[in-house]
Every structure is written in C-alpha cells, then in structure tokens.
Amino acid sequence: MYLTQCDQNITVKARTTFFIGRIAVIVYFRDFHRMVPHDWRDAGRVSAEEELQLTFALKQQNVEELEDKLMKVSDPDSPLYGKHMSLEEVSSLVRPSEVTWKVVYGWLQSHGIRDCDTVLTQDFLQCTMSAKQAEELLPGSRFHRYISDNRSVLRSSAPYSVPDEVHLHLDFVGGVHRFPLKVQELTQATPHSKHSKAGLHLGVTPSILRQRYNLSASDVGVAANNSQAVAQFLEQYYHPADLTEFMSLFGGSFEHHSAVERVVGTQGGGKAGLEASLDVEYIMSTGANISTWVFTNAGRHESQEPFLQWMLLLSNMTALPWVHTISYGDDEDSLSTAYMTRISTEFMKAGVRGISLLFASGDSGAGCRHMGKENAFRPSFPASSPYVTTVGGTSFKNPFKVTEEVTDYISGGGFSNVFKMPDYQASAVNTYLKTVASSLPPQSYYSTSGRAYPDISALSDNYWVVTNRVPIPWVSGTSASTPVVGGMLALINDQRLLKGLPVLGFLNPRLYKLQGTGLYDVTDGCHLSCLDEQVQGKGFCAAPSWDPVTGWGTPNYPKLLTVLLD
C-alpha cells in the first residue's frame, strides 16, 4: 500500500516486518548518563555516514473515542461486548490528520530524508538516514555506539530538540535515547533438600500445574481458528529441539503440539535463552494443542529496538493470535510519560481488536527507587498500563507438595505514578486500601490514585525448563506465571469459539466484575520492597479479594471457564 497524503518525493511503503528503535522524549534531558544502564559501555561516537533507522510516532486522532470503544467491547454488561473492530476500522479511527502528515513529512524532506516506511494504521514512520542527517534533524543529538556483552546499540549521548511546530505532531522519536527493555529476571535456586516420597514433587512441571489448576487431559485446544503467541526480545531464542524434548519429558499425559506453528521474525543461532525456552514450553503445555506463534527479532539494526518492532507488527498485521504473553518491562521512572502514554494507546488498539495482552508484573516486589534521603516504591511498565492484564506470582505453601498458594515474595505489584486508576478496578482497590489501612506502608512510598497491579497470578516458583537440550530445575519468576495464565485464557477462547462466541479480548473489565469468582484467593504473604528503616524490605501484603501482590488470585480453571463461557 502506498500512502497518498505524502509528498511524492518521499518513498513511503507499508511493510509487515519492522526492526525499530526505542524512544526519545521530545524534551531536553539534563543528565543523559543517568539513563545509560551500568552494563552498557560507550565505545565512541559513530561516523557521519553510519546508517540509522529512527521511528517517529505521529500524533493520533480520536484516542478518547478509542478508549471508549475498548471499554464497551470489553464490558460484559455493554450491548457492544465482544463486537471487536478490524484493523482497518481501527486505522480509520486513529490515523493522523493530513496536517500532521504534511508537517512531519515536510520536516523530514527538508533534511533530505526520503526513505520512510509506515504501517497500516499510518501512525508510525520508520526512516533510514545517516548519523549526520539524524544529528541535523535533532539538534543537540550525538550518536555513539554502546556495547554490552555481545550486543551493541546506537544511541545519542546528549539531549536534543525538535521544532515546536513539529513537536505538536509527534509523540516520540524512537531509536535515540532509550536502551532495550529488561527481561524480567529469572532466578535459579538450589533446593534445600530433595524428596522422592509419594505425593511429593521436585518442582513445577505441566502435570503439577494441571493438578493445581484442575486442568484435565481433555482440556486442550481443538478450535481451528484459535491461536496464542509469545514475544521474545534481546536476542532471546527458543530451540525447536528443546521444545520437542520438553514435551517428551513432561507432555505425555495430554494431547499437545511439539512444534511452533509460525515464527514471525528470524530465529538467531547460538545457545537457546532460558527466558525464551520457558515462555514457549509453558504456554504450549498449558494452552496445549493450540496453534502457537513466536515473535522474535534476530539480526536487528543497532539503532532499532525490538519491543517497538513488536508493537508495530500489531499495527500492521490483519490476522494475529488472540492471546500474547510478554515477560519484559522497565521502571516507570526510566521512561518518558509521552512514550508510555503512546504505547498504552497501542495496547488499546490491540484490545479493541479482541487481542488479549498479558505482561509479567516483574520480579522486584514493590521495587525501590532511592531518591537522596528518601525512598519510594518503583512501579514497572508495561505492567502498570491500564490496558493490559498483568500477571503476578505465587508459590506453593509447601514447596514440595501441591498445596494452597501463598505470595511469591518477588511478585511485582503496586501503584502507577503515571496512569490514573481505571474505573473498572476502583471499587476493588479502594476496598483493599480500607481493609488493610492499618498495615499499609507509608503513603509517601506510593500513589493510591494510580493504576494498581497485578490483576491475576499463577505459580512463579521452582519450574522445570529444557534449554539447550538440558532439563533445568528451580527456575522462578513472573516470566513463568505469565505464559501459564495466557495458555489458560487461550483454552477458554477455544471453548468460546466453539460455541460461536467472540474471544475474550481485553480481560480486565470482566475480570474485576467477577470479583474473584473462578479464582483461588491468595491471602498469605508479602512481597519485598525498600531495605530501609521505615519499611524494612516489606512492600504490600496479600489480603482477601484483590490485592497489589497477587491480584484476584490464581485460576481454578473449570470454574473460571464456566463463568467466562456465558
């Protein structure tokens, strides 16, 4: 597709594959070096001829109307429930105005930048240019190469600006300042003892998950038009041989697929990543026998950023899996509000199409931000976005038995400092705040008016994973719980599709109206936070009904299926 609004001297193409940069806010940064992660080394300024690819997020139209439509198609009490929009309808709603196109294109063309690609929704541009052109386009920027382990990125080492008349038409420029997202850290623990007696187990496997969450051998996918997906970033790859080995070891009791149906992107060589192996193996063993896609991004350009690439793919593919699970995030305070707001709009665009986006809540509990003599909790994004379903973590009360669950102390949760509390969760959150008022951390540590998370949880402790053909025990993190919940939602979608019902889409409005029905309430345990005199490492604690550690609790699959099938 070629766009008609643009100047004919600029080449603008729609593509289905992008390798796109991260973000830069349209303001001056006073201290860039605070933004450089400690594990990235400055290898010097790039040459003037070095090729860059920057991404321009154009201002969208009708964002408030988009949010209204999302809530209506996601609210089971709305007459529009389940009437999801097509990508073409979303594009018609949000595409930038002709004035925005004219201003941005004119600005790019005035600097000799003509090679630009767009997406079907026409609200992003990826442009290729030299470092010299980029530094002239963005006054103040100076691009350097930064290296960490075997990875390198090109980023500006200084603040920059854009003309006021252009600023009004841009949300952010990608590929300038920000560094790649962090994977939610997986941990491997050594068990204190090993048991082999009957009734005991040596770690979480698909059969243990199915036992705890009451999934039978017949709870597998059968619908032809159903699918699920995981997204992998930062050169994390799964190996097909690992998946085959995992299923041969742990998938004998239920029908399953032993191969991914589609890889979007290019799988890299070398060793498999523990994170990528975990994601694929557990979404495919929980959402068993359901077609699974993997979004991956080997061979990206140094000025591109994989998370944004994945977001753009969602805006450029008419047919997508219904459930996506993602185990990546960043501290809210490390990102610009403009960036997070725009990315949340992209989440809305997906949700209104019927796509369920699940993000891991993080593995730092409430987090901690050190600000001189005072500390504060540190929420994570995208977990804090109001338009995704955020998954926390739990542990077995007895780590060697299938027992009731308690809080996993690493489970990310808390309150956003950027996004206000959405209406769908206000009652539940306010009830929690009133119920446990006497035991809450000091309010100087968090905002009680912000979007609260997580929304739901699952086991996140002591998983078995096969990577590089080796079974590895005791892997833990909300990166484990997220694909487990995603697989169960994909199973529920399967049953809904068989009954001629629409897919679940954005789950939260319906989840909060259930008020815990179909879920195991987790009421025991707290997560970690700042190690200081006031809170002494203790964040929030679990409580009856919703709480900012485990959300509404963990799935009781048969009961959750029943209440979500009407």
When computed from its CA atoms, the radius of gyration of the chain, rounded to whole angstroms, is 23
The C-alpha angle with vertex 370 and arms to 369 and 375, in degrees rounded to 5, equals 80
Q: What number of CA atoms fall less than 13 Å from residue 97's CA on the CB side?
A: 10
How far is it, in rounded angstroms, from Cα 236 to Cα 84?
32
Phi first, then psi, for residue 91 (nearest 5°) are -60, -45
Angle value at C-alpha 563, between 558 and 566, nearest 5 degrees? 125
227 included as an active-site residue? no
User: Quick check: is 50 catalytic?
Assistant: no
**Minimal CA–CA distance to 485: which of 365, 359, 363?**
359
Q: Which of 130, 336, 479, 529 is catalytic?
A: 479
Q: Are 519 and 213 in contact (CB under 8 A)?
A: no
Is 171 one of the annotated active-site residues of the chain? no
Euclidean distance between CA atoms 292 and 278, whole angstroms: 14
Residue ranges of E strands in 131-225: 143-148, 151-156, 170-174, 182-183, 187-188
CB-based burial label for 91 (10 Å; 0-12, 13-18, 19+): middle
- Decide: residue 517, CB within 10 A, 0-12 exposed, 13-18 middle, 19+ buried: middle
Residues 6 or more apart in contact with residue 418 via CB below 8 angstroms: 332, 337, 340, 341, 379, 381, 384, 450
* Catalytic pick among 279, 305, 330, 346: 279
Output the CA–CA distances (angstroms, integers) from residue 114 to 9, 52, 121, in the order listed: 7, 13, 20
- Sequence-distant (6+) residues with CB within 8 A of 308 are 20, 21, 22, 23, 55, 174
Helices (H), 177-219: 206-212
CB 73 within 8 A of CB 505: yes
DSSP 35: G
Tell me how far apart the alpha carbons of residues 361 and 120 are, in angstroms, rounded to a whole number.
Answer: 30
Query: In terms of DSSP H, where are the helices of 408-521?
Result: 423-435, 478-498, 508-514
- CA 310 → CA 315, 322, 483, 485, 521, distances in Å? 9, 15, 17, 21, 34
* C-alpha separations of 516 from 444, 457, 560 in Å: 29, 12, 9
- One-letter amino acid at 389 equals T
Q: Which of 117, 123, 135, 275 is catalytic?
A: 275
Hunting for tokens 């032993």 — which residue is that?
258
Euclidean distance between CA atoms 283 and 295, whole angstroms: 14
Q: Is the dihedral of CA 414, 417, 418, 419 positive or negative?
A: positive
State the catalytic residues: 275, 279, 479
